[in-house]
Amino acid sequence: MKKALFLVLGGIAVLFAIIYAFIYFVTFSDGIRSGELIKISHKGVLVKTWEGEISQGISGAQIFSFSILDKDQEIIEKLQEYQGEYVKVEYVERYATFFWLGDTKYFITKVTEESSPHFRK
């Protein structure tokens, strides 16, 4: 009886580890988006995650929501510095996410400040 219980619990643990590794390491797509950085926040009740939004249109009708992993402190600091500015972000899209990683499936990997195409000289 103990052996069967051990095998079942071990199987569940291995299955969870495989699912977690797939969600964390396997990406669905990657890309680049640009727009005005309108929000960067550290939110959550039990687990705080970094979330942000970029407006990709003049009227703000097209919003790109994204998450930032806690380990990417340099990106978080740059986003806080660029608040309200036009930025270009590189991201990876995952198949799914866990609540402790972020609210969205889009995770920022790099951010750079850009000049706005709406205010060319």
The reported pLDDT for the residue numbered 24 is: 84
Distance CA 94, CA 103 (A): 12
What is the arithmetic mean of pLDDT over 37-63? 88
What pLDDT does residue 14 have? 94
**Which of 22-26, 43-47, 56-60, 69-73 is the least confident region?**
56-60
Residue 117 has pLDDT above 90, yes or no: no
Residue 2 located in a structural domain: no
Residue 100 resides in a domain: yes
Residue 106 maps to a domain: yes
Q: Which residue has the higher pLDDT, 92 or 101?
A: 92
- 17 within some domain: no
Q: Is 51 inside any structural domain?
A: yes
What CATH number did the domain enclosing 109 receive?
Answer: 2.40.50.140
Is there a domain that residue 47 lies in?
Answer: yes
Spatial separation of the C-alpha atoms in residues 65 and 95, rounded to whole Å: 16
Structure-token pair, residue 42: 């550290």
Instruction: Write down the pTM of the prediction.
Output: 0.81
CA separation, residue 62 to residues 4, 17, 33, 51 (Å):
53, 36, 12, 17
Q: Is residue 27 over pLDDT 90? A: no
Residue 121 pLDDT more than 60?
Answer: no
In this structure, the strands spanning 63-68 and 86-94 are unpaired
Q: Which domain holds residue 85?
A: 27-119
Q: Work out how many domains the chain is built from and give that number.
A: 1
Instruction: Give the rounded percent of residues in the chain with a pLDDT score beyond 90.
Output: 60
